[in-house]
Structures are given as structure tokens and as C-alpha cells.
Amino acid sequence: MKFAVVVFPGSNCDRDMHHAVKEILGEEADLVWYQCSNLENYDGILLPGGFSYGDYLRSGAIAATSDMMNQMVEHAAKGKPVLGVCNGFQVLTESGLLPGALMRNQNVSFMCRQEELVVENNETMFTSLYEKGEVVRFPIAHGEGNYFCDQETLEELKANNQIVFTYKNNPNGSLEDIAGIMNNKGNVLGMMPHPERAVEALLGSDDGVRLFKSVIQNWRKSFVTA
């Protein structure tokens, strides 16, 4: 499987993402500058964390207007997996690929630490190697991770089982403890915690490995054997 790790001005977790996929999982991965005009040759798209465009206007707002995102919308519509982490999640909401918005943390502070997450839905292409209700440890590193949506959207997320991860001990005030959601089609996942920084036990957790392995295994079942 070949991944594109999209790099915007201000991205700072792109190398972490690239390392996780290429060095830990042994898959192909390229760092793709946001002005690249062709994502056709990639099987999956990864939006890393950081501060795209310095977080001006709102986190992810400027990146969401790039030509690269127009391509990403097209590829998502074809069913290709798209994972947005931290700032990548913010870009996905700003672009409309995922509903809701990420606001300033409730305590108005940047937080960087390990957090326990609950796997709410393990019947997705991103979480099939986890158990439902399993508690995993991923690090967070954000100042605007407070997820919010209106009541109608929240009811839709619940009805369609689109809430994938929740915080066990909500660190940022997110509505319903939400840490990660997916689109209705199930191929776009946005989450604030960093699975790419949880791929080596030496660093505190390797719980993120199974997220990437889930994507790879499910992609091979759906696209390679189709």
C-alpha cells in the first residue's frame, strides 16, 4: 500500500507519520508537498498534525482551501482511506469532509501528554484490529482540540456509529468526550490524538500500530482482491 503524507507550510508531524508507515509498518510512503497536483498514484492519504499556515484565521482553515484538498475530496469519494490527525482533523472539518469544528481547549491551554481513549467502534477500516470498548493510550498535543457540533449533527453521528474514539478522561472539553469521528461512508477518519506517535513501546505506547495495520489489511481486502 502506498501512502501520501501531505505536507502544508507549518506541518510538524509529517516525519512522525512517514516514519510510522514506512519504518514501523514497512509500507510505501512519500512526503507530498501541498502544491503537488496529482494524488492518483496513492492508495491512502494522511494529513499530519502541526500548525498549517500558522493556524491563521482558524486552525486548518487556510489549508482546507488548497487545491490539494479538492483532490482529496475526489479521492475520498472513490473510497480511498483518508486519515487526519490533530491539525489534519481540523483541516478535514474546515473542508467539510467531516462535520463539526475544533475549538480552543476548555482550559485555554496547549496540552501535550498521554491520554487513554476508548474504542467506541471497531467495525471500521481504521479500527478492526481493536476490541470494542478497549482502552488504548495515544499522546495528544493540541490547543484547539475541543470538538463541537450542533445537536442534529451529534444525533447523526450517534445513529450512524461515526464516533470512533472517545476520551476516558476528557482533557479538552470535547462534546460527548469525542476524540475521533469518521464520515458516513467510513473511509475518512479525523482524530486529535496521535496514533503515529504511539507505534513504539519505548516511547510510551505502541497502541497506534493496529490502527495503521487495520487500514492496510482492509485496503488489501477491498481493493487488491476486488
What is the predicted pLDDT for the residue at 176? Answer: 98
CA nearest to 121, candidates 175, 163, 178, 170: 163
What is the predicted pLDDT for the residue at 224? Answer: 65
Q: Enter the C-alpha cell of residue 19.
A: 516514519
Q: What is the pTM of this model?
A: 0.96
- N- to C-terminal Cα separation, the chain: 15
Active-site residue identified among 115, 120, 144, 196: 196
Q: Does domain 2-224 have CATH number 3.40.50.880?
A: yes
Active-site residue identified among 18, 86, 144, 149: 86
What is the predicted pLDDT for the residue at 67? Answer: 87
Domain parsing of the chain, residue ranges: 2-224
Q: Which amino acid is at 158?
A: K
Asked if 86 is an active-site residue, the reply is: yes
What DSSP string runs through 161-197?
Answer: T-EEEEESS-SS--GGGEEEEE-TTS-EEEESS-GGG
List of residues 6+ apart from 124 with CB closer than 8 A: 164, 182, 186, 189, 214
For the chain (226 residues), the mean pLDDT of every run of 10, in chain order, is: 96 97 97 88 96 91 91 92 98 97 95 97 98 98 97 98 98 98 97 98 96 96 69
What DSSP string runs through 76-104?
Answer: HHTT--EEEETHHHHHHHHHTSSSSEEE-
Q: CA 115, 191, 77 angle in degrees (round to 5)?
A: 165
Question: Contact 98/83 with Cβ under 8 angstroms?
Answer: no
Asked if 19 is an active-site residue, the reply is: no
Asked if 196 is an active-site residue, the reply is: yes
